[in-house]
Structures are given as structure tokens and as C-alpha cells.
């Protein structure tokens, strides 16, 4: 009888009979894919090409019942198991050699209730899927900045983007969720049902179960928003950042302005002579009246002498996709991140210094402006604790050739160390790379409570292939 090797929770190889896998196939509406079968290599790919891993079996689920069957099968055989939504996680935690992969990427349904101002999204849905449905009604959920990002991983880590200063984190707008626990049971949690679990999944990642659907609060947004980017030459970077720091202290919650160092991409409003040159980009969105937004964005034009100005009314859905071409799948990516309460002069000096030495044409440094509504929530209101942060820095190295691995990674690590003295010590959990142990930094004072919730819903640490919280 044909057997397939897979690893168990105690990291030992185990042989599964083909008949056992056939029984799993018969019990789900989705697919069970093994190495060598059609689509295996395509399905196993994830966004970050740093991770070229080969799961022993892939279970592609089409609904919650499939997820339940997959979890029960994995528990029955004590299989090492990973979970994938849209596969965008920087640390590659959704993919492990020799493990069972529970793949949710087919579960993309999105249903909008415009009267109740609610939207329900499946665990495989992307930000683009959600925006497509909600913007038909002039509504939106505050999410991230890349439309191919999965709603599941984003929400479970907290989730922030252009609307967060005015409307809060993605997790702050979660109303309810359907969770398949480590015992293979389906629970519907909210502030009134399984409240401890609901608290934990809003920032605690995939430690507590597999969330198969999310219900979010909707807000009127757009359909047009004043948004875009203004581009400054690199030799003005220090002065512009100092002006940006002052501006951020007084700008309204409706406005979000991010600072990005990179080689200039071929933006349509940018002169061709500037393409590929080192620049500082201020990207912004005003969530409100277009005329009022124009007044605020006009101030960003006075920080120096810009190369180009792309501020204008844009469809919100289109602006959410504006940076997708810079974040396509298939490249090698390595990130380092810090949270900052302020932009000290020493930090600005380090930013300019290291930005002058970006290790590859695709690499960038971005500063996401936080504050506003995100900081008017108590640190223990949900698992995401960082309610005193004004800026999140992501050091995003990106390249294609494996020969550049050492150069790009070492540059990012050196920059991380150089800016560490200015940081709060906290970190956004979705920005932690594979080689980092920063769970304490991700959860701070909430970690002990999270460990208690973990012990209640996953005492054996079945869901361990993540930024793992040890049950206690």
C-alpha cells in the first residue's frame, strides 16, 4: 500500500496510507494535493520567494466544514500543521517542509450589508476583494495599503493603513468572527460570545484557531478621496523629514501621510529623468471633504522643492492598488521594523544615512504615520497593544537574485540596530521576519493574558507555526 511521509507535532516522520488521505478527500469539497500532483508547485507558492518549501500535503478548503475536517484529520494523526490565508506573511510561517498545509485561499466570498454597515469576508479574501464589494456602496473597512494582502493575516495582526488614523485598526473594526479551534469545533465569537477568544484574535495572530470568516464594521469612504504622492529629491530629505515631523504633530485624524525612501519608480506623473534616482516620497490620503483635503495636502508641497506632485482626487479603490506594482509576488523580501513615539533628530540622521545606501533598486524604507483613532483605544482593549505609537518603520529589502541575500539582509540588520535606540521596543507582529524572536515586543503587557487564552483554546499548541505564544 502506497504511503506518504509527513511530520508529526513532535517533529518525527510518519507514514500515512493513501487510503487515509483518500478518506480525507472524500470528506471535503475542496482539494487534497500531494507532491507530484497537478497544481502542487503552483499552489504551494507564497508571496515571499525567500521561502521555497514543500508541504507533505495541501488541503485546499472551500468552506468552514472543510477546515473542520482538515483540523480533525491533523489532530487524529498528530500532524505538524500550518495555515495559509492569502500567503502574504513576510516570515513565511504558512509554509513548512513536510507539514500539512491548510489552505484557505479559495474562501474569498465577501457579503456586504449596506443597511447594517457590515461586511463579512472569508479567510482567503484579499483587501482588493473586500474593497471591490464595499466600494460599490461607497463604504470601506480600514485595512492595509496593498490590495493583494490577505484580510485574515492583516486582521489577526491588528491591521493598519490609510484609514487607520480616522477609523482605527482593522482589528478595532472587527465585530465578530467564526473560529475553528484546535479541537475541530466551530465557535462564533464576538464581544458577547467567547469574549476572551474575540479579544485574543484581534492582534494575537493565528495562535488560537483558524478564523474562517470575519464580520467588520463599515464606514462611508469615497468613492473619491484626495490622495496621491509628492516626490522630493534625496538631497532635500533631511529638511523635508524635519518639516514632516512638525506637520504630523498638528494634522487632523482624517489625514494620513507616509514617508518613503526608495529609488523612484516609473510613476506616471514623474519625469522620466527622475526614474531610478533616489527620492523621498510623501504619500497621503485625506478621508473627508475633497476641498478640505486639498488644503491640507497643499501644505506638503511647501516642505521643499518637489520633483513631481501627484495629489488629486482618486477613486479610493484605485489608490488602495496604487502600490501593488511595487509589491508583486515572486521577489525575495526581508523586513525589519520598529515602532517610534517621535522622530528624533538622531533617527532622521540614521534614516537619511541608510537610505543613501539602499542595497537594491527595489528596497525601501517607509514610515507609516499612526496616532489618531488608533491611539484612542486602551492598550488592553484587544491583543494589539501599541496605542502610544506615532510612527511604524518598515525596513523593506527586496531583490531577485539569491546572490544578493547576504548584502540585503545585513544592510537591514545594521539599520535596525542603528535605529533601535530611538524605538519603543514594540513591533507590529505582521512585520516580524522569520529569524526574529520578538513575541514579547509584539504583545508587551498583553502577552501573559494571551498565554492564558492560548492555554484554554489550544493547550497542546497545535497552532504553533506562527509568531507563537506559549500556552500557560
How confident is the model over 144-191, as pLDDT tens digits?
Answer: 999 999 999 999 999 999 999 999 999 999 999 999 999 999 999 999
* Per-residue pLDDT at 217 exceeds 90: yes
CB 341 within 8 A of CB 390: yes
All domains of the chain in start order, with CATH: 3-103 (3.30.43.10), 110-221+445-457 (3.30.465.10), 224-431 (3.40.462.20)
DSSP at 203 = T
Q: How far apart are CA 290 and CA 449, in angstroms?
A: 43
Bond preceding residue 223 cis, omega within 30 of 0: yes
Average pLDDT of every residue of the chain: 96
Helix (H, G, I), strand (E, B) or coil at 340: strand
Contact 335, 397 (CB under 8 A): yes
At which residue does the C-alpha cell 482593549 appear?
A: 381
d(CA 169, CA 155): 8
Q: Let me know how many helices (H) and strands (E) the chain has, helices first.
A: 14, 21
Q: What is the pLDDT of residues 186-206, one digit of tens each?
A: 999 999 999 999 999 999 999
Nearest CA-CA partner of 300 in 247, 263, 228: 247
With 90 as the cut, is the pLDDT of residue 17 above it?
Answer: no
- Place 1 in a pLDDT band, splitting at 50, 70 and 90: very low
pLDDT at 266: 87
> What Cα–Cα distance (Å) separates residue 388 from each residue in 10, 165, 322, 427?
40, 13, 29, 12
Q: Using alpha carbons only, give the angle 410, 86, 385 rounded to the nearest 5 degrees.
A: 65
- The answer to whether 303 and 244 have CB atoms below 8 angstroms apart is yes
* pLDDT higher than 60, residue 273: yes
Hey, how many other C-beta atoms are within 10 angstroms of the C-beta on 39? 11
Alpha carbon distance 288, 256 (integer Å) = 11
CA distance 226 to 135: 16
| DSSP-derived secondary structure letter, 126 | B
| Cell (9 digits) for 179 | 473560529
Task: For the chain, give percent helix, strand, coil, nearest 5.
Answer: 35, 25, 40
CB 267, CB 310: distance < 8 Å: yes
How sure is the predictor about 215, in pLDDT bands with cuts at 50, 70 and 90? very high
Query: pLDDT tens digit string along 419-443?
Result: 999 999 999 999 999 999 999 999 9
Torsion, Cα of 113, 116, 121, 122 (10° steps): -90
For the segment 279-311, what is each residue's pLDDT rounded down to a tens digit? Answer: 999 999 999 999 999 999 999 999 999 999 999
Of 437, 360, 434, the closest CA to residue 401 belongs to 360
Rounded Cα–Cα distance for residues 386 and 379 (Å): 6
Does the pLDDT of residue 2 top 70, yes or no? no
Strands (E), 242-390: 255-263, 278-286, 308-309, 312-315, 332-340, 364-369
pLDDT tens for 341-376 read 999 999 999 999 999 999 999 999 999 999 999 999
The DSSP element (H or E) to which 32 belongs, if any, is strand 31-33
DSSP letter for 409, please: H
- pLDDT for the residue numbered 129: 98
Q: Region 138-142: what's the mean pLDDT?
A: 98
Report the SS3 class of residue 257: strand
Residues 64-91 have pLDDT tens digits of 999 999 999 999 999 999 999 999 999 9
Residues 6+ apart with CB under 8 A from 132: 110, 317
**316 contact partners, CB below 8 Å, separation of at least 6:** 131, 135, 140, 221, 222, 223, 224, 225, 227
The H or E element spanning position 392 is: strand 391-399
Residue whose C-alpha cell is 493583494: 148
Amino acid at each position: 500500500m502506497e504511503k506518504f511521509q509527513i511530520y508529526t507535532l513532535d517533529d518525527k516522520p510518519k507514514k500515512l496510507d493513501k487510503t487515509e488521505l483518500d478518506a480525507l478527500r472524500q470528506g471535503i469539497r475542496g482539494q487534497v494535493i500531494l507532491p507530484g500532483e497537478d497544481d502542487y508547485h503552483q499552489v504551494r507558492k507564497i508571496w515571499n520567494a525567500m521561502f521555497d518549501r514543500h508541504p507533505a500535503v495541501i488541503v485546499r478548503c472551500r468552506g468552514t466544514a472543510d477546515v473542520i475536517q482538515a483540523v480533525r484529520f491533523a489532530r487524529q494523526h498528530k500532524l505538524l500543521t500550518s495555515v495559509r490565508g492569502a500567503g502574504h506573511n513576510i516570515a513565511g510561517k504558512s509554509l513548512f517542509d513536510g507539514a500539512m498545509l491548510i489552505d484557505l485561499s479559495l474562501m474569498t466570498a465577501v457579503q456586504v450589508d449596506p443597511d447594517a454597515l457590515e461586511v463579512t469576508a472569508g479567510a482567503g479574501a484579499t483587501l482588493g476583494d473586500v474593497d471591490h464589494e464595499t466600494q460599490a456602496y461607497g463604504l470601506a473597512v480600514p485595512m492595509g495599503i496593498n490590495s493583494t494582502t490577505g484580510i485574515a493575516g492583516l486582521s489577526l495582526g491588528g491591521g493598519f493603513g490609510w484609514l487607520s488614523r480616522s477609523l482605527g485598526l482593522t482589528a478595532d473594526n472587527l465585530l465578530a468572527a467564526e473560529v475553528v479551534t484546535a479541537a475541530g469545533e466551530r465557535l462564533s465569537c464576538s464581544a458577547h460570545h467567547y469574549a476572551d477568544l474575540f479579544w485574543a484574535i484581534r492582534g494575537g495572530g493565528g495562535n488560537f484557531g483558524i478564523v474562517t470568516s470575519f464580520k467588520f464594521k463599515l464606514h462611508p469612504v469615497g468613492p473619491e478621496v484626495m490622495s496621491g504622492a509628492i516626490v522630493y529629491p534625496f538631497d532635500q530629505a533631511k529638511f523635508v523629514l524635519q518639516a514632516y515631523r512638525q506637520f504630523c504633530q498638528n494634522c487632523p485624524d482624517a489625514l494620513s501621510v507616509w514617508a518613503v525612501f526608495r529609488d523612484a519608480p516609473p510613476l506616471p506623473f514623474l519625469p522620466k529623468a527622475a526614474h531610478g534616482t533616489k527620492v523621498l516620497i510623501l504619500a497621503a490620503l485625506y478621508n473627508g471633504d475633497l476641498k478640505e483635503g486639498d488644503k491640507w495636502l497643499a501644505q506638503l508641497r511647501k516642505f521643499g522643492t518637489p520633483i513631481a506632485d501627484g495629489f488629486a482626487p482618486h477613486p479610493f479603490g484605485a489608490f488602495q492598488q496604487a502600490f501593488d506594482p511595487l509589491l508583486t509576488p515572486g521577489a525575495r523580501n526581508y523586513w525589519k521594523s520598529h515602532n517610534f513615539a517621535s522622530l528624533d533628530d538622531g533617527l532622521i540622521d540614521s534614516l537619511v544615512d541608510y537610505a543613501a545606501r539602499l542595497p537594491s533598486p527595489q528596497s525601501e524604507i517607509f514610515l507609516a504615520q499612526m496616532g489618531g483613532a488608533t491611539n484612542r483605544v486602551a492598550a488592553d482593549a484587544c491583543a494589539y497593544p501599541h496605542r502610544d505609537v506615532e510612527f511604524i518603520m518598515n525596513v523593506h529589502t527586496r531583490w531577485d537574485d539569491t546572490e544578493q541575500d547576504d548584502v540585503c539582509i545585513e544592510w537591514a540588520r545594521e539599520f535596525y540596530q542603528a535605529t533601535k535606540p530611538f524605538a519603543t521596543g514594540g513591533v507590529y507582529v505582521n512585520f516580524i521576519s522569520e529569524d526574529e524572536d520578538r513575541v514579547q515586543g509584539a504583545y508587551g503587557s498583553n502577552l501573559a493574558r494571551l498565554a492564558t487564552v492560548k492555554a484554554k483554546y489550544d493547550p497542546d499548541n497545535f497552532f504553533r507555526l506562527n509568531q507563537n505564544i506559549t500556552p500557560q
